[in-house]
Amino acid sequence: MKDPETGFLYSGGGYVLAQKIVTEVCKLNFCNLMNNLVCSPLHMTHSTYSQPLPKNKLNDIAFGYNQHNLQLPGGYNIMPELSAAGLWTTPSNLARFGIEIMKALKNESAFLEKKTAELMTTKAYENLPYGVGFAVNQSKKGLTFGHGGSNFGYHSNMVFCPGDGSGIVVMQNSDIGIRIRDEVINAFKEIYGW
């Protein structure tokens, strides 16, 4: 155990506790809350926190594959930790989210206030690379922010650079070749001069 404010360890359980508080205060289940507050306003029409997925949505998803290249039983795992692991989305929908954060940082968003976006993209502690919900770093073009995701059979990452308005979202539906995700992002950063 490290002293407070000296290290970072992701806590899915911490997100679940935050989810519980928010749903109790708002008196809505998490899926409806996120749809009403984020997905619908940002036109993220291919995003949901529904777990399990409704049967009519199963044709819309890529089933996950394990490290042996075998499809997960039932095609995917049900993730009850909705805030930490329950988002179903597409790269273009996640890009909408990142673009909106960049717009808010320029005070051009009707969705999010600039001061909130600044809080989300500012390191919580100088020696740690995380703000409120995002990994926060510096590139040759300034601030970058993003977040990765890893569930059995699925891996993703998104990174955005408000300095030049660029960003990338990479998703894969296999535990094999997880490094490919990072290689694609690193190649993108090199091409864009981050």
Q: Break the chain into its structural domains and give their ranges.
A: 12-191
Task: Tell me the CATH number of domain 12-191, given options 3.40.710.10, 3.10.20.810, 1.10.10.10, 3.40.190.10.
Answer: 3.40.710.10
- Reported as a pLDDT band with limits 50, 70 and 90, residue 125 is confident
Give the whole-angstrom CA distance, residue 41 versus residue 36: 7
Mean pLDDT for the chain overall: 93
68 burial level (CB within 10 Å; 0-12, 13-18, 19+):
exposed
- Which amino acid belongs to residue 127? N
Whether residue 176 has pLDDT greater than 70:
yes
**Span 25-29, average pLDDT:** 95
pLDDT reported for residue 5: 67
- Reported as a pLDDT band with limits 50, 70 and 90, residue 1 is low
**Comparing 9-13, 49-53, 153-157, 176-180, which segment has the lowest mean pLDDT?**
9-13
Convert the pLDDT of each residue in 69-85 to its tens digit.
999 999 999 999 999 99
